Each structure stands twice: as C-alpha cells, then as structure tokens.
Structure 1
Amino acid sequence: MPDQDTDEQGPRSRRELLAMIGAVAGSAVMYEAMTNLGHAQESPHRGAPRLDGDARGAKVLVLGAGLAGMVAAIELRKAGYQVQLLEYQNRAGGRCWTLRGGDTYTELGGETQRCEFDRGQYLNPGPWRIPYNHHAVLELCRRHNVALEPFVQVNHNAWIHNSRSFGGKPKRYREIQADFIGQTSELLAKATQQDKLDAEVTREDKEALLAALRRWGALDADYRYNANLAASDRRGFAKDPGGGLSARPEPSQPLPMSELMRSGMWRYLANGMLYEFQTTMFQPAGGMDAIAQALFRELGPEIVRFGRKVTEIRQSDAGVRVLHVDAAQGGNPVETTADWCVCTLPLTILSQIEMDVGGPMQAAIDAIPYDASAKVGLQFKRRFWEQDEQIFGGISYTDLPNSLISYPSTGFMSPGKGVLLAAYPYGGVYAYQLSAMSPSDRIRHSLDWGSQIHGQKYRDEFETGVSVAWHRVPWTLGCAGTWTEAKRAQHYDNLCAIDNRLVLAGEHASYLPAWQEGAVLSAYDAIQRLHRRVVGG
C-alpha cells in the first residue's frame, strides 16, 4: 500500500529498495548502495560523567569488584563519598579475567584446573576484544595507561568450514565472501536491468545501483560473476601474480552457486559487518585483565575486601545493611552498613540472596536468565597456522560444536609457541554441550573438531589446554544477561530504577549485555542518578 504523504514517495521508495538489497544481497552490498545514494552516516560520541555537588560525607557500599563496581567506586570516591567494596573472589576484575601459566581455577562440581601455559601465553575466558566505538572502555584505557594493540576480527585468509559441504573441506573466508557477493550482485543486477524493481526507483538510482553492484561484486562488463581477474583479486588466484616470465596470473574458479547457498557458510560473513565487530578492534597487551589491574591500582587495596560472599541485603529509610561471610570457609556473618548501596552482582547470584527490595525490582531480578558460553584455550608447540597456512590473527568459523577458532593477534612471525581460542560456542545447544563436559573432555573434543579444519598437525603440535564453561563458574553461574524485547518492556526500567537506597549496575543493566562497555555505561548512569538523589535530598 503506497504512503499517503506524497512528499515522502521518493525517500520511502529508496528505503524499500535498500531494504530489499539488504535482504537479497546482504548488508555489505546494501552499504555500498547506501554510499552511492548518500545515506550512510556516522554515530555520536558520549563523554564521561560528572558528579557535581556536595556528597555530604555519604557512605556507599559497592558489591562486586568487576569493571562496573570498580568504576562506580572510583568515581564516587572522587566525588567525596566514603566508599567500601566487597568482592567474592580474591582478585579484582570479575569477568574481565585472564588465565596464565600457574593459575588455578575450580569450577562447580569441584574439578580444579591448573593452567600450564608457557610464560607470555594466556587465555581471556571472558571479554577478549574491544570495539572502536566502545568509547567508555577506551577512555578508561587512556586514562589509566592500559596499552592496547589491534585485535584482528576479520581475516580473509582464515577458514570457513561446514562439515556437510564441499566434502567437509574448509574454504578460505575470501573465497566465500567474494563468491557470495559476486553471485548475489549478479542476480540483483539482472533484476535491475529487467526493470523488476520498484517502479518508483528513478533512472539515476538504477544507474547508481548497477555501478555499485558491478564494482562491489567484481562483475564483468555484462554484469556476470565468473572466473576473471577482477573476481580473483577478491577470492584469490589459481596462480598468483609473480615476476619475470612466470608472472602472468591465472584466475580461480568460483564455487558453484547452488552448493555455496545451500552450505550456509555465507552467514559468517555478516559477523565482521556488525557494529561491534567493525575495524578497528583492540585488545589490551598481555591480557584483558590489564584493565582490571589498572582500575584496582587506582582504587587501592584499602577500599576492597576480597573473599566475601554476600548473604543478605537489608535496607530501610535510614540506610543499608549487608551481611557477608568468608567465601571459602563460611562461618558467622559480618555486617557492613552504609547510606547507599551500588550492587553489581550478576542477577544469577543476586536472585539467590535474601534482600529487601520492592516487588517490581525483585521480579526483574528473577526474570532474566543468563546465556551459556564456554571457551577452550589450547597451547601449541609452534604457530603452524602462520607458518603453514599464512593465517595471522582473525577467526575461522565452523558448524561444529566448537563454533570458531580464533588466532592470536600478537606475536606474529615469532618462532615460539602460541595459544588458540579453540572453542567458543555462545548460547544454544553447543554451549550447553560443552558446559556439561569435564574440562579434559572439552579439550579432547576441541582437538577432534579443530583437526577437521587444520588436519593432523592440530594434534601433533598440541601441548596443553584449559577451559571455562560459564554456567559452571561459581561467582556468575552464566555468561551474561539474556534480554528479549518483551522482557525489556516489562522489567528493564524496574531493574535499573533506584529502589529506596539500592541501585543495580552491570552489563545486565544495559542495552549492551555481555560487553564491558555495557557494564561501564550502566555504572556511570547508576551513580549519576544516585548522586542526584543524594545532593538533591
């Protein structure tokens, strides 16, 4: 049905065209068309919070020394509050966590792993990359002198693998990307030439679209995608350009369109186009916990009490009382009082604690489940993915239960060892499948799956491994809060609202769940609202 506002006919027709391009050819082709049509835009930037006004010597108790808790404590102390922080573990950082050689970790069920990685090798079981548009986290890194290095999200020479397609043999990312874009561009170009698009599309728009498709899809003069040098410049050559008399390149043959489409391997291409995964991405040098260590140094050990398990949260109009016991030994509870409380505990933990909050907040706490996720890190004797396969950073994707293999984004060309993130299923059956395994079985199966991509060398070069399944982590019982639109509509505002003298913060109280940026922005928002109540009260 056409829009009734005739002034919107032109722009609305273009929006419909772009939506169709995105549905048929993918977001990359849509963005190329948007650029030609002048619709692409930048995103806004947000600054750090300011807490102006007299805090009146108020005492604030912060629960949880993850990024949200430490950021809240640092900013509140700078604003004049008396701050104390309680943390379950014997380290700061929460899910901002790095495992290195010599570290031990005991999961639910009692099995203890000792990480045997060589010096300089590590695994980030939780956050492992920082998008360029996560301004709050990057600002923390600048402010606290955390050295950053590039994180390679997309590597066109990495693998995409489907165990049921192409004889189970992996294909290079660049092959899948070039062939999918080229073949869908050819289809859309044919539809455009045959005037099968919306009649409202102008001739100028049609010409711009055809030009975009030809360039983006590496189509020939007849708008066909085939074995030509332009296409091979995207997907790789059968014989690479060289020097001297053997210099002439030979084009490679595209994959059959029907098998490529049926394989579903093209779905991994969208990952690098997502807003959070676009270049440039970063990682802290030496491990993600460099951020947590820097914040803890700023905060100071006198502020944090480690090894404390919160058992009750009580509040009244006069203040807050929190009962806590020794996390390892239990025993008689200790009471800590304050005027206000900022609670950053995961909802999976908070829902099991006796607390005085109103019905709406309690319902919100109880309503949000946490996604399952597991990571397996494997150390190899040599960096065979670089030396034998020319894969320098980036991610290979597979339909097997390990879901992906991520290659280190640092130490390129070094002759020594390396650690691969050999499995990282997030949500769904595979994540629960790995979580149900013992740590040794996770490593054994990850070797089986990785061997289907990298061959026998995957086993021959393996030395040691470690794994973390987040539903079996005692202090989170899950990876990150899982929201639906219906749950957000019903519970999100109640979860974030100040309940008498208590306010919640963390990635679960954000529209960026599972990201450190969500945790930090949530903390900033919570303490700003809390501060306004204090100085205005």
Structure 2
Amino acid sequence: MKDMLQSPTRRQLLSMIGKTAGATAMYQAMTTLGFASESSFKESMDLKGAPPGASIVILGAGLGGLTAAYELRKAGYDVKVLEFQNRGGGRSWTINSGDRYTELGGEEVTCDFEEGNYLNGGPWRLPSHHYAVFHYCKQFGVELQPFIQTNDRAYLHRTDHFNGVPQRLGNVKDDIKGHVSELLSKAVNAGGLDRSVNKEDKEKLLEGLKGWGVLDKDYRYKTSHATSTHRGYSVYPGGGLMPDAKPSKVLPMNELLNSGMWSDLSNNFDVYVHQPTMFQPVGGMGKIGDAFTRECRDMIEFNAKVTKIHQDESGVTVNYVDSNSPDGATKTVRADWCVCNIPLSILTQMDINVSKPMKQAIAAIPYESSFKVGLEFNRRFWEEDEWIYGGVSYTDMPITQISYPSQDMFKTGPGVLLGAYGFGETSYKFNTLTPQERINVALAYGKYIHPQYPKEFKAGTSVVWHRIPWTLGCYGIWNESTRHQYYDTLCSIDNRIVLAGEHCSHIPAWQEGAILSGMDAAKRLHKKAKMLG
C-alpha cells in the first residue's frame, strides 16, 4: 500500500496499463494455481452394473458427497450417507429468517431478517461456465436467476484518496480508458510507435483512440459533454424548463494512479470467472443443497458425528455417535467402500487408517479463513437514493466489499446487503469478534460509503468460517508446490476409501469443484468395484 501512495514510475504505469488489459493472463495464472478454472464437465453420468449386493458409505452430505451418493445409487449400490449436521448441502448454505447456529466458543448467531430475506453464508454466485452445477439444477428443478457482478453505478473506495469519497465504478473505468488513450495518442504523435505502426495504421490508431477514449480534437481527455455521455452527468438531462445537463468532472490521472483503484478493475471484474452472465438460485444458494438433499434424503442419517474410519481388505467400518442422543452411544456402519466428503480441516483430527502418503496429503492442505456479514435495512436506499441495482462495491476498509442484491429489485420494505466479505488477514480480525461486534464493525465502516446506514439499519447476521464447527475454514488452499506433491495422492483410491469435495478439485472454493470431484470419485470407485467383483 505504501508503494501505491508514491508517484508512479514509468514501469508502474505500464504495469497498471497491463493490468487493465491482462485479465486473460491473470486468469491463466490463477488456473495454474488451481483457482477459477473452467469446469471440465461434458456430459451427465450413466453408471451401470454395480456388483450384486455392493455397498458404499458416504461421509458428509456436502455437494461432493451427495453427487456421489446420487450417481452410485443409480448404478445399483446400497448407499448410506452420514452427515454431522441436521441438514444436507454443506457450504451450499443460506441463512434465512429465524435461523440460528452455535459457533466455536459457544456464541449463538441468529438471523432476525424479515421473511424472505437471507444471507448466503457460503457460495453466492455461479459462473456461466460451471456446467455441472447447471446440469443438476436443471435436473432437480432449481430455478436460477441472473446475478449481477459488475455494475457501473456501484463504488470503488479508498480511505485516503478523493477525500474518502467513493467513486462510481463506471467513472473510474471510463477515466482510466480516457487517460490511457490520451497518453497513447501522445506517444503516437511523438513518433514513439513508428517502429510498430506505419503511417496509415498510425492515422487509424489515432482515430480509434479519439473515439474509444472520448478525446477532443487535440487528443485530450477532459471534462465535457462528450465524456459525460459515457461516465454520466453531474446534472442529468431533463424535460421542459428543468435545468440543463451539466458534465461530471473527470478524475485526475495522478489521483487515479495513486489510489490503486485500477487493481479493483482487473482483480474483481475482468477475470474470466466473474464475466457475465453469472447466476444465483431463486431464494438463496442453499436451494441447491436442498435439492440434492431431497433427491438423496432416504440415504442420509443426520446428526451423525463420525469418530473413526477403519478399512481392511474387505471393507470399511465407520464409528459414529448421534449428537442428539444423551448417552452418546457409538453406532457402527459397515460397507464395501467409502467416499469421504469430510473437509480436510476436520479429517486431519480423526482416527482413519489410510496409507502414510494419503495421511501426509490430508495434513498438507490448509483452509482459507473468510467472513461474511449480512445487513438488513428498512428500505433499499441503494436503489432509491443511488440508482444501484445489483453489483459490488470495493473498498480498502476492512469490510473489503459491499454486494447489492440481484433479486427483489424495486421491492418496498427491508432489503439485505452483503455488508462485509473478505479473506486472509482481515478475516483473522473478524474471527476474534463476537457476532454483534461484527455487525457493529460492518456498520461503522459501511457508513463511509453509504451514509444512510445508521438511520436505516434493521438487523444483521454473520459467518466466520474458521469458527464453524463442521468445517473449520472456508476452502482448501492449494499452491503450485502442494498440488504437484500431494494432489494426485489425495484424489487416489486408498485401498477402499476415496476422498471427494472442493478440496479434491482444480476449482477449490466453488460448488462446481465439489460436484465434479463427487462425479469423478464415483466413476473411479465404480470401475474398481466392478473390477474386483
């Protein structure tokens, strides 16, 4: 951050320009590290011919486990699913009005939103290329609607820049484009690109820059009615004797560079995984987990806390206790095979007799820390006062971002914002706060972007993932080294046990990764079971 506050060097300037045009390169780099990959789903599964009487126990009713359960039962297996919670879906979780849960430390988190309002505690958006999610949503009747990721009316905000006043995303985007066009036109006119373009190309380039960057006849980007047709007016055109339109003021290039807002554009909007059109289930992301649970309900035993997983040459024995039973008596289930969908952060603490390489792989993958705070307000002031319908605002304050609902637009009455959402160091601080303190902090910071907060606030709820007992973290973190050393081992069939979940995929943190992992685990386990008869 300190470097960003200094006057930029030529190298920094070129780097920033590269960021605005380099989303593809960034996406490829993210894919190499195992993030934001495109789904490899091509077609639905059609497993057949399970060995007569073959049985499978699946540990964890997250999407990876339930995908495997659904497909393996269709193949003819006797399937039983053990789930720690009293619901299925895992991190495909929506917190609705009246919900409550207890986090590590004993604090109870409640949700007092009005009926119909909710917070997606885990996943909250679906990229258009996550084909497997859409396949099962269509098959199970989960209704989807557009999710608005990018909205030019949303804000970019820096505490120490522009006097702390949030700037419209579209204004920043247009002004960056205009200033870069002016700089490039100067380079062209000064002969700086003579080795790259001939005279005819030079003329075409200049003409193109003038239109693309909204430059005047002298190739300058400055406040004018022309620029305002792109970035918006300070006073919009009216009718009759209403005031004439007034141009909005262009942001100075040096302030834009020093603010670091360019990184928001490249990191949060231009990456492939956030490109429109994105989607969300009607009624909350938990509708996907609910649909899988409905399809698999007769196979699932809820409130089943697994305590031991033991495999031998002929099968797998799982010990578990009923968390609702006062005596805590141990129960046992025996099956020929096991698909383990338990998060690695939990599995590392369990008694499981897998090979030494598998144990090392399970222990090698840490889990990301993340937090979310949902804030309900008496009215949808972001729409009524600021013309913001969907989208995300980004800030350098600890709340990191504010997301505006893509559903129920123009609705009268209370609405919910995702008032804070972040990862890493910032989330460590949120992890130490009580549920009420998290709400207070989100309100205290958010009012610098939306002054309506104090007057309009109604209720709040939150999730800090390292304090969620059944996962102890948000998702598995991979890097190039750990993926090379441990990934194949983690995904291999260890005698009679195979793992599944987003951590066993090249798309960690996404439901698509969990579903594809469940499909792949089911397919490979079925192949081995048929081979052994």
Report the more deviating stretch, 215-224 or 398-407. 215-224
Any idea what the Cα deviations from partners look like across 1:489-534, whole Å, max 9, x if unmatched?
1111111111111111111111111110111111111111111212
2:66 aligned partner: 70
Amino acid at match of 2:314: A
Secondary structure (helix, strand or coil) at the match of 2:280 reads: strand
TM-score by structure 1 length?
0.89
CA contact (8 A) 1:87 1:304 kept: yes
1:476 matches 2:450: no
Secondary structure (helix, strand or coil) at the match of 2:112 reads: coil
Q: CA deviation at 1:101?
A: 1.5
Name which of 373, 377, 384 aligns with 1:376: 373
Name which of 143, 148, 165 aligns with 2:144: 148
1:500 matches 2:492: no
1:184 aligned partner: 180
1:25 aligned partner: 17
CA contact (8 A) 2:376 2:416 kept: yes
- The CA distance in 2 between the partners of 1:109 and 1:535, in whole Å, is 46
1:6 aligned partner: none
Q: CA deviation at 1:381?
A: 0.9
CA contact (8 A) 1:54 1:535 kept: yes
Size of the aligned set, in residue pairs, is 506
Q: CA deviation at 1:214?
A: 4.1
1:534 matches 2:529: yes
- The CA distance in 2 between the partners of 1:186 and 1:134, in whole Å, is 39
Name which of 292, 295, 299 aligns with 1:298: 295
Q: CA deviation at 1:86?
A: 0.4
- The CA distance in 1 between the partners of 2:199 and 2:358, in whole Å, is 56
2:306 aligned partner: 310
Q: CA deviation at 1:29?
A: 4.3
Report the more deviating stretch, 162-171 or 262-271. 262-271
Q: CA deviation at 1:28?
A: 5.2
Q: CA deviation at 1:191?
A: 3.3
Residues 320-359 of structure 1: matches in 2 within 5 Å? 320-328=316-324, 331-359=328-356
Secondary structure (helix, strand or coil) at the match of 2:448 reads: helix
Amino acid at match of 1:417: P
1:419 aligned partner: 416
Any idea what the Cα deviations from partners look like across 1:143-176, whole Å, max 9, x if unmatched?
1111111111111111111111111111111111
1:278 aligned partner: 275
1:4 aligned partner: none
- The CA distance in 2 between the partners of 1:44 and 1:496, in whole Å, is 16
- The CA distance in 2 between the partners of 1:130 and 1:327, in whole Å, is 33
CA contact (8 A) 1:470 1:478 kept: yes
CA contact (8 A) 1:55 1:531 kept: no
CA contact (8 A) 1:22 1:29 kept: no
User: 1:512/1:205 Cα in 2 relative to 1: closer, same or farther (>3 Å)?
Assistant: farther
1:402 matches 2:394: no
1:123 aligned partner: 119
Q: Could you list the runs of 5+ residues in structure 1 that have no partner in the other structure?
A: 1-19, 33-41
1:239 aligned partner: 235
Amino acid at match of 1:386: E
- The CA distance in 2 between the partners of 1:199 and 1:57, in whole Å, is 74
Secondary structure (helix, strand or coil) at the match of 2:493 reads: coil
Secondary structure (helix, strand or coil) at the match of 2:234 reads: coil
User: 1:203/1:57 Cα in 2 relative to 1: closer, same or farther (>3 Å)?
Assistant: farther
1:80 matches 2:76: yes
Any idea what the Cα deviations from partners look like across 1:386-436, whole Å, max 9, x if unmatched?
11111111111111111111111111111111111111012x211111111
- The CA distance in 1 between the partners of 2:40 and 2:174, in whole Å, is 32
Residues 383-398 of structure 1: matches in 2 within 5 Å? 383-398=380-395
Q: Could you list the runs of 5+ residues in structure 2 that have no partner in the other structure?
A: 1-11, 25-37
User: 1:104/1:30 Cα in 2 relative to 1: closer, same or farther (>3 Å)?
Assistant: closer
- The CA distance in 2 between the partners of 1:444 and 1:501, in whole Å, is 49
User: 1:29/1:230 Cα in 2 relative to 1: closer, same or farther (>3 Å)?
Assistant: farther
2:445 aligned partner: 449
Q: CA deviation at 1:247?
A: 7.8
Q: CA deviation at 1:252?
A: 2.2
1:430 matches 2:426: yes
1:260 matches 2:260: no
- The CA distance in 2 between the partners of 1:48 and 1:204, in whole Å, is 53
Amino acid at match of 1:521: L
- The CA distance in 1 between the partners of 2:496 and 2:82, in whole Å, is 17
User: 1:338/1:209 Cα in 2 relative to 1: closer, same or farther (>3 Å)?
Assistant: farther
TM-score by structure 2 length?
0.89
1:14 aligned partner: none
- The CA distance in 2 between the partners of 1:181 and 1:204, in whole Å, is 23
User: 1:410/1:22 Cα in 2 relative to 1: closer, same or farther (>3 Å)?
Assistant: farther
Secondary structure (helix, strand or coil) at the match of 1:238 reads: strand
- The CA distance in 1 between the partners of 2:155 and 2:327, in whole Å, is 49
User: 1:31/1:312 Cα in 2 relative to 1: closer, same or farther (>3 Å)?
Assistant: closer
Q: Say which structure, 1 or 2, has more relative contact order (CA 8 Å, 6+ apart).
A: 2
1:8 aligned partner: none
- The CA distance in 2 between the partners of 1:507 and 1:321, in whole Å, is 24
1:458 aligned partner: 453
2:161 aligned partner: 165
CA contact (8 A) 1:386 1:392 kept: yes
Any idea what the Cα deviations from partners look like across 1:350-391, whole Å, max 9, x if unmatched?
111111111221111101111110111111111111111111
CA contact (8 A) 2:401 2:422 kept: yes
- The CA distance in 2 between the partners of 1:187 and 1:468, in whole Å, is 46
Q: CA deviation at 1:246?
A: 5.4
Report the more deviating stretch, 58-67 or 263-272. 263-272
CA contact (8 A) 1:25 1:185 kept: no
- The CA distance in 2 between the partners of 1:203 and 1:527, in whole Å, is 62
User: 1:507/1:189 Cα in 2 relative to 1: closer, same or farther (>3 Å)?
Assistant: farther
Q: CA deviation at 1:230?
A: 3.6
CA contact (8 A) 1:21 1:29 kept: no
- The CA distance in 2 between the partners of 1:218 and 1:81, in whole Å, is 64
User: 1:361/1:197 Cα in 2 relative to 1: closer, same or farther (>3 Å)?
Assistant: farther
Report the more deviating stretch, 48-57 or 63-72. 48-57
Any idea what the Cα deviations from partners look like across 1:31-59, whole Å, max 9, x if unmatched?
89xxxxxxxxx998722233244443321
Aligned Cα root-mean-square deviation (Å) = 2.4
CA contact (8 A) 1:59 1:340 kept: yes
Q: CA deviation at 1:322?
A: 1.1
2:56 aligned partner: 60
- The CA distance in 2 between the partners of 1:192 and 1:281, in whole Å, is 39
Secondary structure (helix, strand or coil) at the match of 2:163 reads: helix
Amino acid at match of 1:110: G
Q: CA deviation at 1:113?
A: 2.1
- The CA distance in 2 between the partners of 1:114 and 1:31, in whole Å, is 39
Amino acid at match of 1:279: P
